[in-house]
């Protein structure tokens, strides 16, 4: 099968087929998610919290994003790989934005980039799209603005904020985004935006009317427990099985039962090796 393209995502919106997106930060997980059939792998700057252990996404650098995007791109055969532009890689100027966006495609093998914000980043999005780089927008709760927003909370609750969100979505579409992530917005706001624009909306904490959904993979697998937003559904609880496997390994190494003949080279045929 050919790789998922922006054209394919648009057709999915038109035909009502839901789009699936998951975050991914490494090669072996990329192979798994790709084989499972997810449409889009987002190398999110959530990397900073989930993988690197920072307490927000703000410290994440271009170097870190490129490093992980390369790993994901090597593992993804069919899924579209989207690189998330980190804080300060696109805010300063259109020139910096285009140069950094380009690095995700040229140096890291992504097919598109994502960046956060509405009207304030319209010039940057226009410039990146004009350079031939597909851009995914991101509205609602934009975690790179955590300090301005005063925390991580639902956005677009008041009338003015809803109106602003809708206008921002229209502006992003005008300058050529191929999709928009809606994060933490009320169900009816996400629905209004989804119906108003002709590019797919991909929701996280944005209700069922979006054209697609995205989750942080470690959240949905139950592997990350620093934060558990209400919008996460746990499809597995891998923490316990992983812990149990590690404890079994520890116990068998300590007891001398691992490694055994099957895991060793040149195991003596008569006498088992006396380790202790
Ligand atoms: O960084 C990320 O994981 C994201 C998604 C939550 C959309 O931006
Ligand atoms: Na992000």
- Tell which wins on pLDDT, 14 or 275: 14
Q: 93: which 2 tokens?
A: 């100027």
By DSSP bridging, strand 212-215 and strand 201-204 are parallel
pLDDT at 271: 64
In a domain, 1, yes or no: no
Q: What is the pLDDT of residues 116-161, one digit of tens each?
A: 999 999 999 999 999 999 999 999 999 999 999 999 999 999 999 9
Calculate how far, in angstroms, residue 130's C-alpha sits from the geometric centre of ligand 2. Answer: 23
Instruction: Report yes or no: 215 and 23 within 8 Å, Cβ to Cβ.
Output: yes
Q: Structural domain tally of the chain? A: 2
Distance CA 103, CA 204 (A): 27
Mutation pick for ligand 1 pocket among 89, 144, 181 (CB with most ligand atoms within 8 Å):
181
Ligand 1: list residues with CB < 6 Å. 23, 42, 44-46, 84, 181, 183, 204, 214, 216
Q: Whose CA is nearest to atom 1 of ligand 1?
A: 44
In a domain, 184, yes or no: yes
Residues 137 and 49 in one domain: yes
Query: Which of these is catalytic: 95, 183, 195, 244?
Result: 183
DSSP 15-46: HTPPEEEEE--SHHHHHHHHHHT-SEEEE-TT
Q: Whose CA is nearest to atom 5 of ligand 1?
A: 44
Q: 101: which 2 tokens?
A: 């966006």
Instruction: Report yes or no: 226 and 49 within 8 Å, Cβ to Cβ.
Output: yes
| Cα four-point dihedral sign 146, 149, 150, 151 | negative
Confidence of residue 72 (pLDDT cuts 50, 70, 90): very high
pLDDT at 264: 95
Q: Whose CA is nearest to atom 4 of ligand 1?
A: 44
Distance CA 114, CA 240 (A): 33
pLDDT at 1: 79
Give the position, in ligand 1's atom list, of the atom nearest the Cα of 181.
Answer: 7
In a domain, 269, yes or no: yes
| C-alpha separations of 274 from 161, 238, 248, 268 in Å | 72, 36, 21, 10
Instruction: Report yes or no: 203 and 213 within 8 Å, Cβ to Cβ.
Output: yes
Calculate how far, in angstroms, residue 45's C-alpha sits from the geometric centre of ligand 1. Answer: 6
Identify the weakest region by mean pLDDT among 74-78, 181-185, 207-211, 267-271: 267-271
Residues 192 and 274 in one domain: no
* Residue 109 structural domain: 6-237
3-class SS letters over 160-223: HHHHHHHHHHHHHHHCCCCEEEEECCCHHHHHHHHHHCCCCEEEECCCCCCCEEEECHHHHCCC
CATH number at residue 15: 3.20.20.60
Residues 12 and 144 in one domain: yes
- Give the CA radius of gyration of the chain: 22
pLDDT at 203: 98
Confidence of residue 268 (pLDDT cuts 50, 70, 90): confident
138-160: b or e for each residue (b if 16 or more CB lie within 10 Å)? bbbbbbbebeeeeeeebbbeeee
- Tell which wins on pLDDT, 150 or 201: 201
Q: Whose CA is nearest to atom 8 of ligand 1?
A: 44
Residues 223 and 259 in one domain: no
Residues 16 and 147 in one domain: yes
Residues 14 and 87 in one domain: yes
pLDDT at 276: 54
Binding residues for Mg(2+): 45, 84, 116
Residues 33 and 169 in one domain: yes
Residues 168 and 243 in one domain: no
Ligand nearest to the CA of 218: 1
Calculate how far, in angstroms, residue 202's C-alpha sits from the geometric centre of ligand 1. Answer: 11
**pLDDT exceeding 70 applies to what percent of the chain?**
98
Distance CA 145, CA 181 (A): 15
Mutation pick for ligand 1 pocket among 90, 113, 214 (CB with most ligand atoms within 8 Å):
214
Calculate how far, in angstroms, residue 50's C-alpha sits from the geometric centre of ligand 2. Answer: 11
Q: What is the pLDDT of residues 25-57, one digit of tens each?
A: 999 999 999 999 999 999 999 999 999 999 999
Q: How far apart are the first and last CA of the chain?
A: 54
Q: What is the pLDDT of residues 202-251, one digit of tens each?
A: 999 999 999 999 999 999 999 987 777 899 999 999 999 999 999 999 99
Q: Mark whether 95 is an active-site residue.
A: no
| C-alpha separations of 20 from 33, 39, 88, 215 in Å | 11, 5, 28, 9
Confidence of residue 77 (pLDDT cuts 50, 70, 90): very high
Residues 167 and 250 in one domain: no
């Amino acid at each position: 099968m050919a790789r998922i393209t922006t054209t394919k995502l648009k057709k999915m919106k038109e035909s009502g087929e839901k789009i699936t997106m998951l975050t991914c930060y490494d090669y072996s997980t990329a192979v798994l998610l790709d084989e499972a059939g997810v449409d889009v792998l987002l190398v999110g700057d959530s990397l900073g919290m989930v993988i690197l252990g920072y307490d927000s996404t703000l410290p994440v650098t271009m170097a870190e994003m490129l490093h992980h995007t390369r790993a994901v791109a090597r593992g993804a055969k069919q899924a579209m790989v989207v690189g998330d532009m980190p804080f300060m890689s696109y805010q300063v100027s259109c020139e910096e934005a285009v140069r950094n966006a380009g690095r995700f495609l040229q140096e890291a093998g992504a097919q598109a980039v994502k960046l956060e914000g509405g009207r304030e980043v319209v010039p940057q999005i226009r410039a990146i799209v004009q350079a031939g780089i597909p851009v995914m927008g991101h509205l609602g709760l934009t975690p790179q603005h955590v300090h301005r927003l005063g925390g991580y909370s639902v956005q677009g609750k008041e009338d003015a904020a809803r109106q602003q969100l809708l206008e921002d979505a229209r502006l992003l579409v005008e300058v050529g985004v191929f999709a928009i992530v809606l994060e933490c917005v009320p169900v009816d706001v996400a629905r209004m935006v989804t119906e108003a624009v002709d590019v797919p909306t991909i929701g996280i904490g944005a209700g069922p009317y979006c054209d697609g959904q995205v989750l942080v993979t470690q959240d949905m697998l139950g592997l990350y427990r620093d934060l558990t937003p209400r919008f996460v559904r746990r499809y597995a609880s891998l923490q316990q099985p992983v812990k149990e496997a590690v404890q079994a390994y520890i116990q068998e190494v300590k007891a001398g039962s691992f490694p055994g003949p099957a895991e060793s080279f040149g195991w003596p045929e008569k006498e088992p090796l006396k380790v202790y």
